[in-house]
Amino acid sequence: MITTEAAAESAVPAVPGDSGATGAPEREQLVWPWKDAAIRALVQRIHQLQAERAQAFRRLEEGHRQYLSSGPPYDFPRYRSTVHEVTQAFAAASREVLALEAELAGPRAQPLLASHVRRLQQLEETRLATVALLQLMGTPELTGQDSLQMHQLKMKVIKTMEAISEVLQDLRFDAESAE
């Protein structure tokens, strides 16, 4: 999950706008915290976001284990709360990763690095969808379903994680070459 410190680091601060002589209420102008950062700093932030995603996946797995061991009757409200928290963490990380991709693709003119980030985002979406399906298939109501399909999904998660690692390595290598 995204920690308070990480959220504060990546927050987009608001700067009061000029209300001018029109007497209009002040508008807040958003400031992008990575505007003048080196490419290396952008890539480091992407790696930090990946670490936060990994932590969120661990929390999701732990929440599912707790759910399965809680019953019968099962403590679904607690599991639902965990899923909600993790979903918020994933959404926040994804928003920032997409913003970093746009920064690399646009103002930084680094299409190769942007393509790595886009691929990373796609792989993370695949991983999350596959893990969610595995958890759904692992619920007591569906236990005993197609074990071959469960095995295939587990292999898909493993292969997706390997692909994520490769993309992160490519991103780091290509970022060093870009500077």
Q: What pLDDT score does 31 carry?
A: 59
Tens of pLDDT, residue by residue over 134-164, are: 998 887 666 666 788 889 999 999 999 999 9
Q: What pLDDT score does 121 carry?
A: 97
pLDDT for 130 beyond 80: yes
pLDDT for 16 beyond 50: no
User: Helical H runs in 36-146?
Assistant: 39-69, 76-105, 111-137
Tens of pLDDT, residue by residue over 18-55, are: 444 444 445 555 556 777 788 999 999 999 999 999 99
Is residue 108, in this structure, part of any structural domain at all?
yes
CB-based contact 123:100 (threshold 8 Å)? no
Is residue 19, in this structure, part of any structural domain at all?
no
Is residue 29, in this structure, part of any structural domain at all?
no
Residue 42 CA to residue 113 CA, distance in Å, equals 10
pLDDT for 174 beyond 70: yes
The number of distinct structural domains making up the chain is 1
Residue 150 CA to residue 8 CA, distance in Å, equals 39
Is residue 11, in this structure, part of any structural domain at all?
no
Question: Hey, what are 176's tokens?
Answer: 């060093």
Q: What mean pLDDT is predicted for residues 47-70?
A: 95
Distance set, CA 162 to CA 37, 49, 101, 159 (Å): 29, 17, 21, 5
Residue 60 CA to residue 51 CA, distance in Å, equals 14
Is residue 6, in this structure, part of any structural domain at all?
no
User: Greater confidence, 73 or 13?
Assistant: 73
User: Greater confidence, 12 or 70?
Assistant: 70
Q: What pLDDT score does 37 carry?
A: 84
Q: What three-state secondary structure class fits 29?
A: strand
Domain that holds residue 129: 38-178
Q: What is the CATH number of the domain that holds 108?
A: 1.20.1420
Is residue 117, in this structure, part of any structural domain at all?
yes
pLDDT for 108 beyond 60: yes
Give pTM, 2 decimals: 0.78
The percentage of residues in the chain with a pLDDT greater than 70, rounded to a whole number, is 79
Q: What pLDDT score does 93 carry?
A: 96
Is residue 14, in this structure, part of any structural domain at all?
no
Is residue 157, in this structure, part of any structural domain at all?
yes
